[in-house]
Amino acid sequence: MKRKKEIEKALARAVAKETPKLSDQILLASEIKEGAVIKMNETTAIKSVKRKWIVGIVSAAAGLVLVIGALLGYQFYNGVEAIIGIDVNPSLELSISRRETVLEAQELNEDAKKILDGMDLKGAKLDVAINAIIGSMVRNGYISNLHNSILVTVENQNAAKGKQLQNSLLTEINQILSSASVMSQQVQETSQLQELAAQNNVSVGKASFIQSILDKDPSRTFEALARLSINDLNILADSLQVSDASLTVSGNASTSGYIGENKAWEIVLNKLPGGTKETMHLDAEDGMMVYEGVVRLGSNRYEFAVNAKTGEIVDWDQDHDDDYIVSGQPSIEQPSTVPSTTSTSAGATSALIGMDRAREVISQKAPGAQVHKIELDRENNKWVYEGEALYQNAEYDFEVDAATGAVLQWKQDDDYRPAAAQSTTAAASALLSQKQAEEIVLAQAPGFTIKEISLTTEDGVKCYEGELRQGGREIEFTIHAVTGRIIEWEIDD
């Protein structure tokens, strides 16, 4: 560390200063040649030189011991004892001594420069420095009722002392901000943490906290989580029930900056009038907090994601639910185990096309055909979609290759008796009344009124079709006149 290098330089300077220059004595001794006759006064001079040389060495050694002792004492009390990381969005680190005084305050991002602007914390007591930093964060709007989470990270080689410091910091900050949610943790900096922090421009403390979330849910990415604020990460960690032996959390993270579930549902149902709520929860997606969920309309399911702060719909996926059953509608059979892939004779694998695609294939084969039964089955070591469809007042049995989409069979059922050949009275009694049809469509679109509705026959199938209106918005619909199943539902904004 920087402090250690400074101490080493000081020791070097002290040794150079205190060590006597012995060149003169060495030169003098070298002048006495071998075999020379030494007079009495010369012998006395040499002894005197030797005594001075010994005294000089002893004095230098004593001085050196004193210097080393003084420097070691200085290092003991004023060397770096621990590093304290503070993250909100500003991220900074404090290097502190054994006396809990600040040796250095370092900004880790641009926001932190605003927090420390004009402050000279060197030599300040730790509690004074913490008060000054938290106060500056509040004044600059980084801590408020909209985002109240603070992450405090302690790095100390002595785990027991680190824990004691962690607890005292937690108490100190809670006394300053009673409504804050404070997360405190101990870390031991590793090369992996340093690399992740550097790559994503975050502090080591934030990198460690993100890693705790990834340990709980590996499906997420470090890069996406790094873009979240500490408050967002706090909420996410709580929803995932992240637990770590070194992590302590007090208080609840604020969600006041989010639109809330009620508003999110309002936005979703405004996009899909008549939709039925299924699920919704707060989550993180692509570096933002979102309300994710599912809404249903008839046999269609819609998975959505709404930006939790702006209300923008950032994801909207429609999926047809083959197992959805309307009262009176024929059920759609499906095997208990549906493979995601099927092997070809050559040993390769191909994804199944799905029931929706199989219906499209039949519609292309016979435009206007109404598939009223479909199931996935295995015949002759091959997966196929087989079922029945009504086309031009006749019923056809079909088979579609589940891997390629090729039509393997399209055969008219000679035993099928169309509705026109049935008793008129019996057929009429099986139909929904117009009032019942109106109730079905209005239940799907609250607030709309029926502009028109009529009973028609499409490809031999009796249907009610019409139009709903609300202000400038319109919905065109077609429903099965017997089962009440929604066949078409088109929204025009």
Question: Which band of pLDDT confidence, cut at 50, 70 and 90, is reported for residue 275?
Answer: confident
Residue 333 forms part of a structural domain: no
Question: Is residue 450 located within the same domain as residue 465?
Answer: yes
Question: Is residue 197 located within the same domain as residue 110?
Answer: yes
Residue 64 forms part of a structural domain: yes
Residue 329 forms part of a structural domain: no
In the chain, what are the helix, strand and coil shares in percent, each to the nearest 5? 35, 30, 35
pLDDT, one tens digit per residue, over 243-272 is 877 788 888 999 999 999 999 999 999 988
Question: Is residue 371 located within the same domain as residue 397?
Answer: yes
Residue 336 forms part of a structural domain: no
pLDDT, one tens digit per residue, over 137-168 is 999 999 998 889 999 999 988 888 888 888 88
Average pLDDT of the segment spanning 469-477: 88
Question: Is residue 351 located within the same domain as residue 462?
Answer: no
Residue 325 forms part of a structural domain: no
Last residue of a domain, one of 250, 273, 306: 250
Residue 355 forms part of a structural domain: yes
Question: Is residue 356 located within the same domain as residue 449?
Answer: no
pLDDT, one tens digit per residue, over 93-107 is 999 998 889 999 988
Question: Is residue 315 located within the same domain as residue 174?
Answer: no
Last residue of a domain, one of 213, 231, 250: 250
Total count of residues recorded for the chain: 493
Phi, then psi, of 15 in degrees rounded to 5: -65, -45
Residue 328 forms part of a structural domain: no
Residue 327 forms part of a structural domain: no
User: Taking all residues of the chain, what is their mean pLDDT, rounded to a whole number?
Assistant: 79
Q: What is the pLDDT of residue 350?
A: 45
* CATH at residue 445: 3.10.450.40
Question: Is residue 101 located within the same domain as residue 141?
Answer: yes
Last residue of a domain, one of 416, 441, 472: 416
Phi, then psi, of 446 in degrees rounded to 5: -60, 140
Question: Is residue 24 located within the same domain as residue 55?
Answer: yes
Closest CA to 368 of 487, 197, 279: 487
Average pLDDT of the segment spanning 302-318: 93
Domain that holds residue 389: 341-416
| Alpha carbon distance 382, 483 (integer Å) | 33
Question: Is residue 180 located within the same domain as residue 239?
Answer: yes
Number of domains, the chain: 5
Question: Which band of pLDDT confidence, cut at 50, 70 and 90, is reported for residue 21?
Answer: very low
pTM for this one? 0.54
Question: Is residue 298 located within the same domain as residue 210?
Answer: no
Evaluate if residue 338 carries a pLDDT over 60: no
Question: Is residue 169 located within the same domain as residue 220?
Answer: yes
Evaluate if residue 330 carries a pLDDT over 50: no
Q: What is the pLDDT of residue 420?
A: 46
| Alpha carbon distance 212, 216 (integer Å) | 7
Residue pair 182/250 in contact (Cβ under 8 Å)? The answer is: yes
Evaluate if residue 235 carries a pLDDT over 60: yes
273: CB partners within 8 A, 6+ apart: 444, 445, 446, 447, 448, 470, 473, 475, 491
Task: Please report how many Cα atoms fall inside a 13 Å half-sphere around the Cα of residue 163, on the Cβ side.
Answer: 5
Question: Is residue 193 located within the same domain as residue 274?
Answer: no
